Structure 1
Amino acid sequence: MELLETQKKRLRSRAHTLNPVVLIGQHGLKPTVLEEITSALDYHQLIKIKLSVGDRELRDEMIEQIIQYSQSQLIQRVGNVAVLYRPNPDRPDIFKEPI
């Protein structure tokens, strides 16, 4: 599912007040961290992840691995923080909820 720019803009505004749900530190991406991200996306649909590791290239690689594993979409990346979105058909649509 490809999101329109207006949808991404709305998700960015929603994510502004969110706190990071998952923190990735010096130990990097482990299977348990990836599972936690997947379960957080199942429940919240829109999450922030903070990556406190290495340089920009390493963070970009990790974000790409997370996106591929969780089958989510990158909404925004600012510094060490990435915002991911994945709709859950079993939960109410996030676009229909008031901000």
Structure 2
Amino acid sequence: MKLTGKQKRFLRAEAHDMSPLFQIGKNGLTVEMIREFEDSLENKELMKVQLLQNTDWTTKEAKELIEEESDITVVQTIGRVLVLYKRAEEEKYQHFSSRLPRSN
């Protein structure tokens, strides 16, 4: 999903007070882990993932793999933290997508 700058700003603001739900450690980022992100995002829509100091992955590499292997959009990277967004399929879980500013 292609987000506008205004939509990304809205999502970044919403994610500001969140704590990371997942951590990427010495075992690195796997496709299975990305599937777990997708499952979690199905009823959250927005979350943070942290890269620990003992991982060989950079935030850029993690961002590229996540966006390549899934429909997840990386809204922001802050240091070693990624903010992930994926629109929920079920309306009852659309906490953020229902409030996203409209794209023109």
The amino acid of 1:54's aligned partner reads D
Higher relative contact order (CA 8 A, sep 6+): 2
**Following the alignment from structure 2 to structure 1, what is the Cα–Cα distance between the partners of residues 89 and 50?**
26
Instruction: Decide which moves more: 34-43 or 87-96.
Output: 87-96
What is the TM-score normalised by the length of structure 2? 0.79
Deviation of 1:65 after TM superposition, in Å, equals 0.7
Q: Share of identical aligned residues, percent?
A: 29
**Following the alignment from structure 2 to structure 1, what is the Cα–Cα distance between the partners of residues 63 and 7?**
21
**Residue in structure 1 matched with residue 96 of structure 2 by the alignment:** 94
Deviation of 1:95 after TM superposition, in Å, equals 4.1
Task: Give the paired residue count.
Answer: 95
The 4+ residue runs of structure 1 with deviation greater than 3 A are: none
**Pair 26,16 (structure 1): closer, same or farther in 2 beyond 3 Å:** same
**Following the alignment from structure 1 to structure 2, what is the Cα–Cα distance between the partners of residues 94 and 88?**
9
Instruction: Decide which moves more: 8-17 or 59-68.
Output: 59-68
Give unmatched runs, 5+ long, in structure 1. Answer: none
**Following the alignment from structure 1 to structure 2, what is the Cα–Cα distance between the partners of residues 39 and 11?**
19
**Residue in structure 2 matched with residue 84 of structure 1 by the alignment:** 84
CA contact (8 A) 2:73 2:85 kept: yes
CA contact (8 A) 1:37 1:70 kept: no
**Residue in structure 1 matched with residue 41 of structure 2 by the alignment:** 41
